[in-house]
Amino acid sequence: MMSEFKRQHPVAAISKVLTTIKQNFVTIVILLFIGTSNTEGYFLYFLFGGIAITLISGVFSWWMFKYRVDGDELQIKKGVLVKSNMYMSKDRIQVIDITEGVLQRMFGLVQLEVKTAGGGTDTATISAISRDEAEAMRTELRNKRNGNSSSEKDGEIADTEADAQVEDEIISTWKLSTKDLVFAAFTSGNFGLIASILGAASGQMDEFINEETIEYVYEVLPGYNDFTLIVGIVLVIFIISWVLSFLGVIFRYSDFRLERTSEELIITSGLLERKHITVPFDRIQAVRFIEGLIRQPFGYGMINVESAGYDQTQKGRSIVLVPFISASNVSAFLNEFLEEYNEPEYSIKPPKRTLFRYMRRPNYILILLVPIIWYFIEYGWLSLLLIPLATYLGWLQYRDAAVGLGERILRMRYRVLSRTTALVKKKRVQNIESSQNPFQRWKNIQNLKAVAASGAGGLGLEINDLDNEDSFKILRWLVSNPDTNTEANSKTETWSSNQNRE
C-alpha cells in the first residue's frame, strides 16, 4: 500500500506545458499572425514571456501535484495558487484508463486517468508515472472493489496485458493486418475533414487568392481559366484532406488489437500514441456496422459500438471496435466477440409505393442549393448534375432500408450517405417514436425512429416511410416480453429472401 504522498515523474511538467499549448493553440496561432504582421519587436517579448510563464507554471504544478492511495481512497493534492484536494473513494471509481502518449512513450511512462461517475468533470489525471506503478495502482484501486463482490462488473477498468487476474483471461483476439490497415486508410475519405479544411482555408483565401496570384497562375499554366482554377483548388483540397485522413487512420489504427475476455472487450491501438480502451459487455448499447461510400463497393466497412456509463450519468461514447472488416466476415466476427448480437432476418421494408418519395427526398435540399449556386458561381448550373446523383442516393436509401425483429435484438439497416446496419438489444432500446405528416397519413405510411442511449440525446436510428401496420408491429415488439412469444415475432411476410444479405 502506498501510504505516503508521491510526485509524478518530472516529465509531467512538460506534459502540462504541452497541454496548455494544445488547449490555446488557436489563440496562439492568431497571436502569431497578428504579431508577425506587427513589425516592431514588442511581440517577441510577449511571446517569450508567455512561454516562460507557461514553463514555470508547468514546473510548479508538477511540484505541487502529489498523490497516494490511502485505504479506500485515491487522494490527490494539487494547485499552485488555489490548492485543491481530491479524494476519490474506490467504490465510486468507474474508469481507470492507461494511455501512452508520444511524450510518455519517449520516457517509458504512461498516463493514468481515473474517472468517477457523475458530472463528467471528476477526472483525476496522473500524467506521467512509470508503467509498473500505474499497473500497481490500477490493481490496487480495483482490488478493493473486488472486495465488494457485487460491484465488480460495474466498473470499466482499463486493461493491460500483464494482468494476472483470472477473469481477464483472453478468450479471442482480432488483429488488423497491415494490408487491411492500408486499405482502410485508402478508403477513409473523410468529408467532415474536407469541410473543416475548406473552412480553415477560406479564412486564408484572401491572402492567397488575389489578382496577383491569379495572374501568376495564368502565366505559369496557360489554358487555365476561372473554372479550371476552381476545379484545381477543389482537387488540391480534396487530395490534401485525403492524405490527412490517410495518415490519421495509419496513426490511429496501427497495430490494432481487439481482445475479448469474459467480461469485456479490450482495444489497443495507435502508432505514436498507444490507447487502451476497455468496453465492458454490460455497457454496450448498440453495435453498428458502417459501410462508407468508398468502402461499400469493395464490400468493406467498420464496426462501432456505443458504450454508455453504467449509471447513465456518465457520458456515452462511440468506439471503433473494428476499423476495417469485410461485410462477409461480420457475422463470424459477431459470433466470436459479441455472441449475444445475432442478426435477425429483415422482415420489414418500406412498401413499393414509397419508392418515388425516397427518390425525391434527397432532391429537396437541392431545390434550395442549385439556384443559389447557379446565381453566385460561374458554371454554377453544373450543380444540376447533382440531381441524378441525389435521385440515385434516394434509390439506394430505399433499397437499403430494412428492419429485422429478433426475439431480443432489433436490427435496422438504413442509409444517410454511408449504409449503417445497427443491432440493438430490445432492452437497450430506450424508446420508439413514429411520426407522420399529412402526406404520409394519406398514403398510410410513417417514419420510425428507435433511440438507444449514447451521449446526450441518444443515438437515433431512423427509417422513413414504413407502412402503418409494420410500424405498429415494431412498436408492439418493443413492449412485448421477450420470454413469451408474442405476435411481434411471428413473421407474416419475408422480404429478406430477395434482399442481398450481409
- Provide, rounded to whole angstroms, the least separation between the CB of residue 358 and another protein: 18
- Provide, rounded to whole angstroms, the least separation between the CB of residue 432 and another protein: 5
Q: Do residues 300 and 187 touch, judged by C-beta distance below 8 A?
A: yes
In whole angstroms, give the CA distance from residue 161 to residue 146: 19
Q: Which is nearer to another protein, 326 or 434 (CB)?
A: 434
In sequence order, the β-bridge partners of residue 96 are 114, 157
Q: Which is nearer to another protein, 140 or 154 (CB)?
A: 154
Cα 94–409–176 angle (5° rounding)? 65
In whole angstroms, give the CA distance from residue 437 to residue 282: 38
Q: Which is nearer to another protein, 419 or 426 (CB)?
A: 426
Q: Do residues 494 and 487 touch, judged by C-beta distance below 8 A?
A: no
Backbone φ and ψ for 209, nearest 5 degrees, come out as -95, 90
In order, the DSSP letters of 60-95 are HHHHH-EEEEETTEEEEEE-SSS-EEEEEEGGGEEE
Q: Which is nearer to another protein, 101 or 458 (CB)?
A: 458
Nearest Cα to 431, choosing from 487, 482, 479, 463?
A: 479
Q: Which is nearer to another protein, 123 or 468 (CB)?
A: 468
Q: Which is nearer to another protein, 151 or 430 (CB)?
A: 430
- Provide, rounded to whole angstroms, the least separation between the CB of residue 460 and another protein: 9
Backbone φ and ψ for 290, nearest 5 degrees, come out as -110, 120
Q: For 311, which DSSP code?
A: T
CA 177 and chain centroid, separation? 21
In whole angstroms, give the CA distance from residue 139 to residue 32: 46
- Provide, rounded to whole angstroms, the least separation between the CB of residue 435 and another protein: 5
Q: Which is nearer to another protein, 266 or 453 (CB)?
A: 453
Contacts with another protein by CB under 8 A lie at 308, 312, 427, 429-438, 441, 446, 451-454, 457-459, 469, 472, 475-476, 478-479
- Provide, rounded to whole angstroms, the least separation between the CB of residue 482 and another protein: 11
- Provide, rounded to whole angstroms, the least separation between the CB of residue 404 and another protein: 19
- Provide, rounded to whole angstroms, the least separation between the CB of residue 434 and another protein: 5
